């Protein structure tokens, strides 16, 4: 037995020795690999690093002393990645520290360059335009580059910097040293928060695909900004050694706007680019900006399908950068010039390296091997290691052959591989990162310590962070606390079994208005030395008011802005407030991405309960008590019991540099209303009329105010006493006085402005909505969130027009300030109907809410024409209320909103009114500017086969440069079509024109040998269709021809002798007027 045991022991020792030897050999092989990578990084990247700023040059041959932020960040990441690999070995010969400090040097150098432009950050927070942007390119010594033609506005570059600033600090590097730097980085966060509404030049620095100097919204830029905001939320810039005042704060509502805008734009890159290779680093390494896996896969599949080639990925279709046909002496292209580059775009191997990294992150070995095999033959091998070319291009003598047969010709690498001394450092850095990952020298988790590659649902909360974004659970419960403004109101609610607290009873916690929270955040990031003012005074949104805050020892909950007292008349409609509360809860449920439950504070005021909407309000509160609101799980309770499950954000920066008591005096909590214990009574108007007076009994008297225009102002004032009970008469006379004498003209009842204010409130109590709107317009009232409402529609790819129907409209295609919007609305609507000035504001708010919550209502609507939508609503009101004198201005805001929803949701195949006519359907669809699916593709197909272009109402859409500059699926082409259709002045005529274009496209599609030889006037075709319809109707019914086109508009489109058949005859006749183009490869035959 001893012999057997001894034999076993010897065998075990031999096995252990063998394992140890293998481990030593593997360790030595790892050291050899790392040494090779070290030499490679030293010779290919670090040797070019600036000793002053630590940044890396664009041209390694020294031709220009420029350093780009994006390229430098990627270089520092490659150096940092190698440092992470060296952390695995014991004796690193000091290389880990050397490499880490080289990365730190670069990141601090970029920070130094940015901080030299702190004044730009300050002005950019107020106005997001290209002239105010931080530079994205500097000289190697840190000096600014003065080049007025360079597009510095690149949101993705700053986002990439902040993304890796957080990643490197999380890995243990110390990059931020002082509170001045902390304040500056916080201001960079403010800089990025409005990326969702900031058109920029994008990753390729050219803006739109046409390279004409214009900027546009890029999905890649918004995605990078979203990723940067996520890593910066609650992040401690001093790392594990920092205190609570070193944290960065991100507005959760700004993050949500970037998220929803990105998800709306995808899979499109921008208006001019249907897809783009820049989406790869946005959706995959390094940003991992989208958590919806299906959207990521759909977008990346499109990128691969459209742009992947044998030598890399094209940047975008018709990209002329560094092709042989591009004129390098001009910065911008001429109109239609990009057609030259169709099919000969350069291909970039760097994106094969990105796809290798993407495969490693997804643990997809097949993808890794596929792209390694594709990349391997494209590299040049040198003694210092392989080199990745910037791009491969089609040589001049192969351009024609490549265009005729895409992918058939050999492409040549750019000068990087010809021993010129030039290296593409960005590509080289990404290639080295991919090699380190494939060789398993660094784990992806080390390269992404914040766990972005794991997806929103898998990220773990990092140590010391309180504000990680995550995917909300399916059964998320919203906490609701009811705060009654008085003890009397609390008692009344208790009789209905509804528990509420007064502001005093929530102590030791406090209830604040949202304006106080805005004021509190204004001190975040303030730095007088750098000239930085802190957070801009932007309103706190629904998500921001669903958090609790700890401020100087107090725990604070803010009520949503919907409960703020405002003087705009929409706040006087309790039914609208109730709808807004329900919408708020639904929005928070869908958009909440933080740990903990959202907490919703409902402020109940006495006039909420004593008005006509009392029953509706009590039903809502009762649903809260039942634990459900429109299918959403809610929990009603006392604020004190909700703290443990709520999300609490510490605002430790407040009062750091000031006396705490002085700072605290700036804020006032919600005070309890002292009203005694008398029972509540329904409100009465000043004339004694009941609140129940509604739009069912408006003042219909025909008052003739024009006869007063020639009278003196004193006589006009006396006429106010003529009908003292008529609010409408009072408003008309006061409007005349306002026009003659101005707002400060003194009457016996105060100034004209004062009397209008009193009348405005009096009409609101009496629910005379037409008079309310008239007075509100005279007083130039402005609704809250008007500019954000327009922006909400714009960032979802819509165009917006304001102006009265039948008159000139203003097209809004970019975000505007509230003052600019108000000026446009009052200028365009005021001369025709003053009430529309505020009605259009009302509609903008309603449309913005609906495009957020019910985007399907806007399918087929690229242009939202507010004046035309009001026209459709007026028509719908007449159809549903025949014989009634009620107008849209007599309706309450809730009724206006319901009418709008009815108009938008009505379907032509399933009308709400059984006897609805085809004319009425066409008037509605035309007024909504709603087009059938695939409509713009059909117009493109027509234009391709119409040499002279098409004409509608005198507007010509030429074949060239339209199809030369643009592509079929481009959003800009759709906007061109809308510009053409925008010349039509009647909704029903517009709809007939849409039907005609569909007929033309169908005929051309079925007859590929036909095309229009000259320009086509679509108005002539429609007129010929109508005349043929007239003749047919006259013959069938034995009556004289009628010149009224209403009969034609009212005919069904596809029935026997329907409008489509007459259109088809006119189109066929027009096609056969010219020479028929027959493909020579097809032989004519008779079967």
Structural contact between residues 124 and 133, judged by C-beta atoms closer than 8 angstroms: yes
Q: What pLDDT is stored for residue 1081 in this prediction?
A: 46
Residue the block writes with tokens 């399933």: 910
Instruction: Please give the structure tokens belonging to residue 25.
Output: 């050999």
Q: Which residue, 85, 82, 134, 77, is CA-closest to 104?
A: 77
pLDDT of amino acid 65: 82
Go through 945-969 and write b for each residue having 16 or more CB atoms within 10 A of its CB, e for each that does not. bbbebbbbbeeebbbeebbbbbbee
How do residues 695-732 score in pLDDT, each as one tens digit? 445 666 666 666 776 677 787 777 777 777 788 888 88
- Whether 782 shows a pLDDT value over 70: the answer reads yes
Which pLDDT belongs to residue 960? 87
More confident residue, 1033 or 69: 69
What is the model's pLDDT at position 764? 85
Question: How much is the pLDDT for 682?
Answer: 47
Number of neighbouring beta carbons within 10 Å of residue 891? 21
Return the structure tokens found at 859.
């399918």
Which residue has better confidence, 499 or 20?
A: 499
pLDDT at 582: 92
**Higher pLDDT, residue 695 or 341:** 341
147 vs 140: CA distance, rounded Å: 15
Please state, in angstroms and rounded to a whole number, the distance separating the CA atoms of residues 179 and 115: 13
Q: What's the rounded mean pLDDT across residues 480-503?
A: 90
Share of the chain above pLDDT 70, in %: 89
Q: Please give the average per-residue pLDDT across 892-899, as a whole number.
A: 93
Q: What is the percent of the chain where pLDDT is above 90?
A: 55
**Predicted local distance difference test score (pLDDT) of residue 1080:** 46
Question: From the CB of residue 372, how many other CB atoms can be counted at a distance below 10 Å?
Answer: 17
User: 509: exposed, middle or buried (C-beta count within 10 Å: 0-12, 13-18, 19+)?
Assistant: buried
- State the Cα–Cα distance between residues 636 and 884, nearest whole angstrom: 44
In sequence order, the β-bridge partners of residue 992 are none
The answer on pLDDT for 45 being more than 90 is: yes
Which of 610-634 are b and which e, b meaning 16 or more Cβ less than 10 Å from the residue's Cβ? bbbbeebbbebbebbeeeebeebeb
Q: What is the 3-state secondary structure (H, E, C) of 447-494?
A: HCCCCHHHCCCCCCCCCCCCCCECCCCCCCCEEEEEEECCHHHHHHHH
* C-beta neighbour count of 59 within 10 angstroms: 16
Can you tell me the distance from the alpha carbon of 575 to that of 271, in angstroms, rounded to the nearest whole number? 39
Residue 1035 has pLDDT above 90, yes or no: no
| Digit-coded pLDDT (tens) for 988-1025 | 999 999 999 999 999 999 998 888 988 999 999 999 99
Q: At 976, is the pLDDT very low, low, confident or very high (cuts 50, 70, 90)?
A: very high
Cα three-residue angle 655-256-155, rounded to 5 degrees: 85
Can you say how many angstroms the Cα of residue 187 is from the centroid of all Cα atoms in its chain?
21
Query: And the tokens for 50?
Result: 């600036």
Residue that wins the pLDDT comparison between 772 and 701: 772
Residue 169 has pLDDT above 80, yes or no: yes
Render pLDDT for 347-380 as a digit per residue (tens, 0 to 9).
999 999 999 999 999 999 999 999 999 999 999 9
Q: Report the pLDDT value the prediction gives residue 1034, as an integer from 0 to 100.
A: 79
Q: How much is the pLDDT for 369?
A: 96
Please provide the average confidence, as pLDDT, over all residues in the chain: 86
Among 416, 354, 421, smallest CA distance to 391 is for 416
Other residues' Cβ atoms within 10 Å of the Cβ of residue 748 = 9
- The pLDDT confidence band at residue 1058, using thresholds 50, 70 and 90, is confident
Residue 687: count other Cβ atoms within 10 Å of its Cβ.
Answer: 12
Tell me the mean pLDDT in the region 145-164: 90
For residue 833, the 8-state DSSP code is -
Torsion of CA 965, 967, 969, 972, to 10 degrees: 0
Q: Say whether pLDDT at 10 is over 70.
A: no
* Cα 538 to Cα 561: distance, rounded to the nearest angstrom: 12
Residue 173 to residue 185: CA distance in whole angstroms: 16
Q: At which residue do the structure tokens 């725990």 appear?
A: 555
- In this structure, of 89-103, 143-157, 870-884, the range with the lowest mean pLDDT score is 143-157
pLDDT for 336 equals: 86
662: pLDDT confidence band, cut at 50, 70 and 90? very low
How far lies 379's CA from each of 264, 291, 407, 416, 976, in Å? 38, 33, 19, 10, 43
Q: How far apart are CA 113 and CA 105, in angstroms?
A: 12
575-589, 596-610, 663-677: least confidently modelled range: 663-677
- Position 223 confidence tier, pLDDT thresholds 50, 70, 90: very high
How much is the pLDDT for 1083?
A: 43
C-alpha to C-alpha distance for 765 and 685, rounded to whole angstroms: 6
Of the listed ranges 183-187, 498-502, 681-685, the least confidently predicted one is 681-685
pLDDT of 692 > 50? The answer is no
Alpha helices by DSSP H, 150-251: 155-170, 179-193, 219-232
ω into residue 560 within 30 of 0, thus cis? no
Q: What is the 3-state secondary structure (H, E, C) of 484-553?
A: ECCHHHHHHHHHCCCCCECCCCCCCCEEECHHHHHHHHCCCCCECCCCECCCCCCCCCCCHHHCEEEECC
The pLDDT, as a whole number, for residue 671 is: 64
pLDDT-derived band at 300, boundaries 50, 70, 90: very high
Please state the rounded mean pLDDT for residues 579-588. 91
In the predicted structure, residue 253 carries a pLDDT above the cut 50:
yes
- Which pLDDT tens digit goes with each residue over 445-483? 999 999 998 875 444 445 445 556 777 777 889 999 999
Alpha-helical runs (H) found in 319-424: 350-361, 365-375, 399-404
| Structural contact between residues 670 and 507, judged by C-beta atoms closer than 8 angstroms | no
Span 1038-1058, average pLDDT = 79
Cα separation, 80 vs 52, in Å, equals 19
- Is a pLDDT exceeding 60 seen at residue 124? yes
CA atoms within 13 A on the CB side of 932: 18
Helix (H) or strand (E) holding 94: none
Q: What is the pTM of this model?
A: 0.89
The predicted structure's pLDDT at residue 663? 52
pLDDT of residue 646: 92
pLDDT at 370: 96
């Amino acid at each position: 037995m001893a012999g057997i045991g001894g034999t076993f022991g010897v065998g075990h020792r031999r096995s252990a020795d063998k394992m140890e030897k293998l481990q030593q050999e593997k360790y030595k092989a790892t050291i050899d690999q790392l040494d090779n990578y070290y030499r490679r990084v030293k010779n290919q990247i670090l040797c070019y690093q600036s000793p002053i700023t630590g940044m890396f040059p664009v041209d390694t041959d020294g031709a220009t002393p420029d350093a780009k932020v994006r390229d430098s960040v990627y270089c520092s990441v490659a150096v940092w990645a190698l440092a992470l690999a060296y952390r695995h070995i014991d004796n690193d010969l000091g290389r880990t520290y050397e490499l880490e400090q080289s990365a730190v040097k670069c990141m601090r150098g970029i920070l130094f360059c940015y901080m030299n432009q702190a004044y730009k950050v300050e002005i950019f927070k107020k106005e997001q335009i290209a002239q105010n942007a931080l530079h994205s390119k500097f000289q190697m010594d840190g000096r600014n580059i003065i080049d007025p033609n360079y597009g510095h506005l690149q949101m993705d570059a700053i986002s990439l910097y902040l993304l890796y600033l957080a990643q490197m600090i999380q890995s243990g590097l110390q990059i931020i040293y002082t509170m001045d730097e902390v304040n500056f980085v916080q201001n960079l966060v403010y800089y990025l928060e409005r990326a969702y509404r900031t058109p920029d030049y994008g990753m390729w620095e050219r803006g739109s695909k046409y390279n004409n100097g214009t900027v546009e919204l890029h999905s890649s830029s918004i995605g990078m900004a979203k990723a940067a905001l996520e890593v910066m939320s609650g992040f401690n810039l001093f790392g594990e050694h920092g205190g609570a005042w070193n944290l960065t704060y991100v507005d959760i509502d700004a993050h949500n706007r970037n998220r929803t805008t990105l998800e709306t734009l995808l899979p499109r890159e921008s208006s001019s680019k249907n897809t783009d290779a820049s989406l790869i680093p946005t959706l995959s390494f390094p940003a991992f900006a989208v958590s919806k896996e299906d959207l990521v896969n759909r977008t990346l599949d499109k990128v691969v399908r459209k742009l992947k080639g044998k030598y890399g990925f094209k940047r975008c279709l018709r990209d002329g950068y560094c092709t042989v046909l591009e004129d390098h002496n001009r910065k911008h292209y001429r109109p239609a010039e990009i057609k030259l580059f169709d099919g000969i775009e350069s291909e970039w191997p760097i994106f094969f390296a990105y796809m290798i990294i993407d495969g490693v992150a997804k643990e997809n070995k097949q993808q890794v091997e596929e792209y390694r095999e594709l990349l391997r033959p494209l590299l040049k091998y040198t003694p210092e290691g392989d080199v990745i070319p910037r791009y491969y291009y089609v040589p001049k003598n192969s351009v024609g052959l490549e265009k005729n047969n895409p992918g058939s010709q050999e492409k040549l690498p750019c000068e990087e591989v010809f021993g010129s001394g030039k290296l593409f450092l960005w590509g080289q850095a990404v290639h080295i990162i991919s090699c380190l990952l494939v060789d398993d020298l660094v784990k992806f988790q080390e390269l992404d310590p914040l766990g972005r590659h794991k997806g929103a649902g898998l990220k773990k909360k990092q140590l010391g962070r309180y504000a990680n974004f995550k995917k909300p659970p399916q059964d998320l419960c919203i906490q609701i606390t009811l705060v009654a403004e008085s003890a009397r109101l609390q008692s009344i609610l208790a009789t209905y079994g509804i528990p509420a607290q007064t502001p005093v009873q929530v102590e030791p916690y406090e209830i604040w208005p949202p304006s106080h929270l805005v004021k509190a955040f204004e001190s975040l990031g303030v730095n007088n030395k750098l000239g930085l003012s802190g957070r801009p005074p932007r309103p706190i949104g629904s998500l921001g008011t669903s958090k609790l805050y700890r401020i100087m020892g107090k725990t604070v909950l803010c009520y949503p802005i919907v409960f703020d007292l405002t003087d705009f008349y929409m706040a006087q409609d309790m039914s609208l407030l109730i709808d807004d509360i329900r919408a708020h809860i639904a929005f928070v449920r869908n958009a909440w991405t933080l740990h903990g439950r959202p907490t919703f504070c409902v402020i109940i005021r006495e006039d909420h309960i004593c008005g006509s909407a009392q029953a509706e309000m009590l039903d809502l509160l009762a649903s809260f008590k039942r634990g459900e609101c429109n299918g959403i799980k809610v929990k009603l309770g006392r604020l004190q019991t909700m703290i443990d499950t709520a999300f609490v954000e510490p605002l430790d920066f407040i009062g750091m540099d000031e006396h705490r008591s002085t700072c605290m005096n700036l804020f006032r909590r919600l005070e309890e209303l002292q009203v005694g214990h008398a029972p509540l009574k329904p409100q009465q108007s000043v004339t004694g009329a009941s609140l129940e007076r509604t739009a069912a009994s408006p003042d219909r008297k025909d008052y003739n105010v024009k006869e007063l225009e020639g009278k003196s102002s004193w006589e006009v004032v006396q006429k106010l006493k003529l009908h003292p009970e008529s609010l409408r008469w009072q408003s008309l006379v006061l409007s005349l006085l306002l026009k003659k004498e101005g707002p400060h003209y003194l009457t016996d009842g105060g100034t004209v402005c004062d009397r209008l204010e009193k009348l405005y409130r009096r009409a609101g109590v009496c629910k005379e909505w037409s008079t309310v709107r008239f007075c509100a317009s005279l007083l130039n009232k402005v609704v809250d969130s008007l500019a954000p409402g327009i922006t909400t529609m714009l960032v979802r790819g819509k165009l917006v027009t304001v102006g009265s129907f039948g008159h000139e409209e203003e097209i809004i295609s970019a975000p505007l300030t509230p003052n600019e919007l108000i000026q446009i609305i009052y200028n365009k609507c005021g001369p025709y109907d003053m009430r529309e000035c505020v009605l259009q504001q009302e509609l903008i708010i309603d449309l913005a809410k609906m495009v957020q919550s019910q985007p399907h209502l806007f399918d087929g609507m690229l242009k939202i024409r507010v004046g035309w939508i009001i026209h459709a609503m007026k028509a719908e009101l007449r159809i549903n209320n025949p014989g009634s004198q009620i107008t849209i201005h007599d309706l309450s805001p809730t009724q206006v909103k319901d009418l709008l929803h009815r108009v938008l949701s009505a379907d032509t195949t399933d009308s709400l009114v059984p006897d609805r006519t085809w004319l009425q359907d066409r008037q509605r669809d035309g007024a909504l500017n709603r087009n059938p699916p695939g409509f713009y593709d059909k117009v493109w197909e027509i234009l391709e086969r119409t040499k002279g272009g098409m004409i509608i109402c005198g507007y010509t859409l030429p074949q060239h440069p339209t199809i030369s500059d643009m592509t079929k699926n481009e959003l800009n082409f759709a906007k061109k079509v809308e510009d053409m259709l925008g010349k039509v002045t009647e909704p029903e005529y517009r709809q007939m024109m849409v039907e005609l274009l569909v007929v033309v496209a169908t005929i051309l599609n079925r007859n590929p040998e036909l095309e229009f030889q000259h320009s086509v006037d679509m108005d002539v075709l429609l007129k010929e269709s109508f005349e043929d319809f007239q003749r047919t109707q006259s013959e069938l019914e034995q009556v004289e021809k009628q010149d009224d086109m209403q009969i034609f508009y009212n005919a069904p489109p596809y029935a026997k002798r329907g409008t489509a058949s007459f259109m088809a005859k006119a189109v066929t006749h027009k096609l056969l007027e010219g020479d028929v183009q027959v493909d020579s490869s097809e032989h004519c035959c008779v079967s």
